[in-house]
Structures are given as C-alpha cells and as structure tokens.
Structure 1
Amino acid sequence: MKQKMKIAIFASGSGSNFAAIEEACKKGELNAEIVLMVTNKPEAFVVERAEKASIPVAAILPKEFATKDAYEEAILHALRESGAEWLVLAGYMRLVGPVLLTAFPSHIVNIHPSLLPSFPGKDAVGQAVSHGVKVTGVTVHLVDEGMDTGQILAQCAVDVVDGDEDKTAEAIHAVEHGLYKDTLNKLFSQ
C-alpha cells in the first residue's frame, strides 16, 4: 500500500467534515494522516474535535498580523513543521492567498455546498433556497486565487427540501462526507 498522504485540514466551524475525514483516516477508508488542523477561530468546536483525536492544532488569528501575507507565512511555518503535503479546506471561512497558493500549487482542495459555479461564497444554501432552485448540491474543487473558482473535481446534486434551508443543509451534509472522502482518495492515488 502507498504511504499515507500527510494532510492539514483547515476549518473555522463545528468541523463535521473534519470529523468525517478523521474517521475515514482512522478506519483506513482514506489513505491519509491528518498532521495538523489549522483554524482562524480558536473557539470553534472543530478545535475540541481535533484535540480529542490527538491532532495538533494551529490556531492562528489573522488580526495578530499586519498583512494577509504575514498571516499566511505563520500558517506556512506550521505546515512545514507538520510535513503536510495537501491542504484540505473543510469549512474554512477565509480566502486562501498567494503565500499558500504558491507553496502548495494544485495541492489545496475545498468542498462547497452548491453546484459551482452557482452560488459561490458564503451562505450558498441560503442563496439556493432564496433563488427558488429545485436542485443544489456539493462541489469538491481545487483552490485558486478566486472565490470558489478552482478546477472542479467532483459534484453531486442534492434536491432542495421543501424550500427549507435547514433541511436542505442536512441533506447536503449527508452527501458531503462521502463525496469528499472519495475525491480525496482519487487525488491521493494519482
């Protein structure tokens, strides 16, 4: 079997995708090892999840740096120390900038709760519901300098549930975890 891919997960919230990836790694369903969890929100529940799983956490606050580049240089230092080979965004609510894009070319992946290019950015589920669409979905894509504009790797359609944002978000979460794991497996086996 190929050596496990060393990944750093970036998250800013509850970390349900982090937990799903961590579980898949533990069960051997994803040939990867999470070497670092990066967050810009030290109070986020994902930090507790990472600590419980004995995964090192780099909680780095953007406001402590004069520039975005300086902020990303601090993250890059932590990533280099961890030996991370891929950056996996899982609810990380910041745009990745040139420092990380240059250090990890074509090795940063994100999951987004819509069928991109429709409904990029924040509140994609809310955007889909307010636009009255019947189908939305999940997209896994490589990260570039734009907002959810990178090369699409995988997509899965999800029906909008009765125009209800919460029910639709639940349906999307049910699809996200499997799609992300499967897509990461394909990426890491290339």
Structure 2
Amino acid sequence: MNLAFFASHQGSDMQAVIDACKSGTLRATPCAVISNNSGSMALARAVREGIPAYHLSAKTHPDPARLDRAMLEILGRHQTDWIILAGYLRKLGPQVLNAYRGRILNIHPALLPKYGGEGMYGPAVHAAVL
C-alpha cells in the first residue's frame, strides 16, 4: 500500500507514520510528500528519508485546476493508494478528491469540525481544546 503525504509545516505526524512503516508496525510504503510550503520541514524530512518531495502551491501553479492536475499526476506517478493529510492547511481540488474518494485520511489532533478551520493547528488547537 503506497501512502502519499500532504503536509504544510513540520511534518511530525507524517514522520510518525513513516517511522511506523519503517519498523513494520504499518505495512505500507511512503511514496511521496507534497507541501504547499517550499520551506516546510515536511519536505526536508522526506528528502532525509529518501521519499520524493514536491512543492506544489498557488505560487508554482497559479491556476487552481492546473494545481489539481499536477497533484493528481504526481499521485499517479507514484502509484498512490492512500493520501494522508498530515497538517495540510489547504483544500484539495475536485480531481484529487474524486480520484481518491474514500482513500484520504486527515490527521487532526481534535474533533472536527468543532476544533477545525482557520488557525486551528499547532498549539492553537490544543489550547482551544484544553
């Protein structure tokens, strides 16, 4: 089972899943990492782990439909079975959503939608819950 990760910043949840794959706890293979943030630690973690890493954003693809197609092309190139949203702060486009319907897992540290939305990531979401 090939897993592609979408992450915007640190990628610590992504790293935990990668580690579980490496240890055999999770029988899956990380196949790609996509970030909307060219300076994200998630991309650096991917490179360190030998996982193909891609910066795709409105800066690289100003047209949302082209961005959606570019993401879908990368997912297909790596024979992605599942998408893991690990702190990804953007919405996925309709082509990716349709192609991976029922095969997208969103990692979020609190109940959604109550503790979701703008600003609900990192320490802010934990403070809101506590």
Same fold by TM-score greater than 0.5: yes
Larger RCO (CA within 8 A; separation ≥ 6):
2
Q: Give 1:127 deviation, angstroms.
A: 5.9
**Partner letter of residue 8 of structure 2?**
S
> What is the CA-CA distance between 1:111 and the residue it aligns to?
1.3
What's 1:43 paired with? 39
Larger radius of gyration: 1
CA distance in 2, matches of 1:52, 1:64: 23
Report deviation, 1:70.
Answer: 1.1
- 1:62 deviation in Å? 1.8
Cα RMSD after superposing both structures: 1.7
Query: 1:57 deviation in Å?
Result: 0.7
CA separation in 2, counterparts of 1:105 and 1:9? 16
Q: Does 1:102 align with 2:98?
A: yes
Q: Deviations over 1:25-49 (max 9, x none)?
A: 0000111100111111121111111
Residues 1:46 and 1:81: Cα distance change in structure 2 (over 3 Å): same
Q: 1:89 is paired with a residue of what secondary structure?
A: strand
Worse overlay, 78-87 or 66-75: 66-75
Gaps of 5+ in 2: none
Question: Match of 1:26?
Answer: 22
Q: How far, CA to CA, are the matches of 2:113 and 2:40 in structure 1?
A: 28
Number of residue pairs matched by the alignment: 128
Alignment of 1:122 with 2:118, yes or no, is yes
Aligned to 1:172: none
Q: Percent identity at matched positions?
A: 33
Q: Which runs of 5+ in 1 are unaligned?
A: 131-135, 137-159, 161-190
Q: Look up the SS of the partner of 1:63 in the other structure.
A: coil
The answer to whether the Cα contact below 8 Å between 1:119 and 1:128 also exists between their aligned partners in 2 is no
Counting only pairs closer than 5 Å after superposition, residues 56-95 of structure 1 correspond to structure 2 as 56-95=52-91
Equivalent position SS for 1:7 = strand
Q: Is the 8 A contact 2:85 2:105 kept in 1?
A: yes
- Residue by residue over 1:92-150, the C-alpha shift from the partner in whole angstroms, topping out at 9 and shown as x without a partner, is 110112111111111111012222231221333536745xxxxx3xxxxxxxxxxxxxx
TM-score normalised by structure 2 residue count: 0.89
Once residues 90 and 127 of structure 1 are traced to their aligned partners in structure 2, the CA distance between those partners, rounded to angstroms, is: 14
